[in-house]
Structure 1
Amino acid sequence: MLEAIDRGSADILYAERGGVILIERESRSCMISVDEISICEELPSLGNYPQYAAHQRDVAAYITQGRSFPHSLTVCQAAYLEEEPPRALEADIRPLTEEQEETVFHSYEAMDDPAYIRELISRGQMWGLFKDGLLAGFIGEHLEGSMGLLEVLPEHRGRGYGYALESFLIGRTLARGSIPFCQVVTGNRPSLALQRKLGMAISKGKTYWLFN
């Protein structure tokens, strides 16, 4: 939420002692962190957004009342709070093009929206690691600014390519004056291990994503 405000992509609906509610314009995400549900009840403008990020479990429960959300995720936040990026492994990393759209879509099982992949690639927000001219892995920056969509193709795993891709994006994010951050699905131990290896700070609290 702070990064959305810093980037100038946040429309703030509420900001008082009891919490903050904002709309992140690029992704049309409603992000909520409040101490009392009554704050949400007083804001009919919460509307019907494509996705919600609730930082309290009871807020997530409130949002789902009377609504149907086909997809939901419980995640922890990870942020890189150091001034210098982690030491990057040498690798051929460059922006993806439409030539890689199908490979990315079919390789990343957690994503079922090819239009979203296409949009990120067209915006220059996805990068691939190439080995001998072939795509070995990829990473992206979601519309709201988080790092994600990290995948190493099966035949290239175990070679440090995931570390190389994320350290690359951490460095790129720091260079533009932003804080690199990502979200890890609860129970994804390999991803958590990678974030710790990279020096990311892991939140104790959870965030609850709800997708229309």
Structure 2
Amino acid sequence: MSKVVSTPYDNMRFFKAYHTPLFESLTKEGEVFVGNSDRPWVYINSNEAKTESLSALVKLLSEDYVNFALVEDWMVDTITRDFVRTREMVCTRFYLPNGVTLPHSEAQVSVLTVDDAIEIQNSHAYNEYTDLEYVTEQIKNGYGACVRLEGKLVAWAITHDDGAIGFLFVQPEHRGKGYGEAVTKWIAERLRKDGFAVYVHIEADNFKSMNLAKKLGFVEDRNVRWFTLEERK
């Protein structure tokens, strides 16, 4: 059953469901989980938004774990400490509340296959943060949907390793036909059916995606970010 309110813990829950733990700990302060996707990612859920609680959780981690996912604004300084943040991406998280019904679409939606991975990796705007292996794994193990016309891939979306709907892309000559809405709806319905929350992450300058999310009923949640820590030189 989908949630009325979704938080970044839903991302952590999805990631945990599909990744073997390299490290995990549950304490009175909260929870830490490290799993390997394209790299070992650290997820931290602090029971309280307090520096002391978060610091105690960070101290549980080996210094080898330097890639952090779904970091909220208030957590940044405590996690960063004396390190430098690299490969940083900041997004706004939107979620789809329970009860919001996505619009009907006449488009014929089908499932992506691993043979689509090369075109998807080469087409999406953030391919510097992904690679072919990552895209292939998300098609195999996540939720992927597409629209094909005469056998040609014209629109698609896939969930990321944390369950966020992403990779949304419509070929320029087919935009304005509702295909983006159709593949988003297809994935959202299956996430809900399997008991997962529905959410997306959008960079601040991606106005088209933000407008689409709001049009479909997604609600703005909070800023989240991903980064890698490196020692200062």
**How does the TM-score come out when normalised to structure 1?**
0.83
Identity %: 21
Q: Higher mean Cα deviation, 7-16 or 22-31?
A: 7-16
Give the number of equivalent residue pairs. Answer: 207
Partner residue of 1:85?
101
Partners in 1 of 2:34 and 2:144 — Cα distance?
A: 20
Determine the structure 1 residue equivalent to 2:71: 54
Q: Please list the CA deviations of residues 13-60 of structure 1 after superposition, one character each: whole Å capped at 9, or x if unmatched.
A: 4454xxx44326475332345533233333322341433322124x21
Task: State how 1:174-193 maps to structure 2 within 5 Å.
Answer: 174-193=192-211
Name the Cα RMSD after superposition.
2.6
- CA separation of 1:71/1:8 partners in 2, compared to 1, >3 Å: closer, same or farther? closer
Distance in 1 (alpha carbons) for counterparts of 2:167 and 2:182: 14
Distance in 2 of aligned mates of 1:94 and 1:26: 29
Query: Distance in 2 between the 1:73 and 1:182 partners?
Result: 14
Alpha-carbon distance change, 94 to 182 in structure 1, aligned in 2, over 3 angstroms: same
- Kept in 2: contact 1:78–1:182 (CA 8 A): yes
Looking at structure 2, the residues matched to 105 and 67 of structure 1 have their Cα atoms a distance apart, in angstroms, of 31
Partner of 1:38: 52
Give the counterpart letter for 1:208 in structure 2.
R
Following superposition, the deviation at residue 197 of structure 1 comes to: 0.8
CA contact (8 A) 2:145 2:186 kept: no
Tell me the SS of whatever aligns to 1:102: helix
Alpha-carbon offset, residue 64 of structure 1: 2.8
- The equivalent residue for 2:9 is 2
Structure 1 alignment gaps of length 5 or more: none
For residues 48-103 of structure 1, the C-alpha deviation after alignment (integer angstroms, 9 at most, x for no partner) is 1433322124x213323343443112222211113353123122222222321111
How far has the Cα of 1:200 moved from its partner? 1.0
Q: Following superposition of structure 1 onto structure 2, how do residues 56-135 of structure 1 map, counting pairs within 5 Å? A: 56-57=73-74, 59-83=75-99, 85-112=101-128, 113-135=131-153
Pairwise CA distance, 1:211: 4.2
Map 1:126-205 onto structure 2 (within 5 A): 126-203=144-221, 205=222
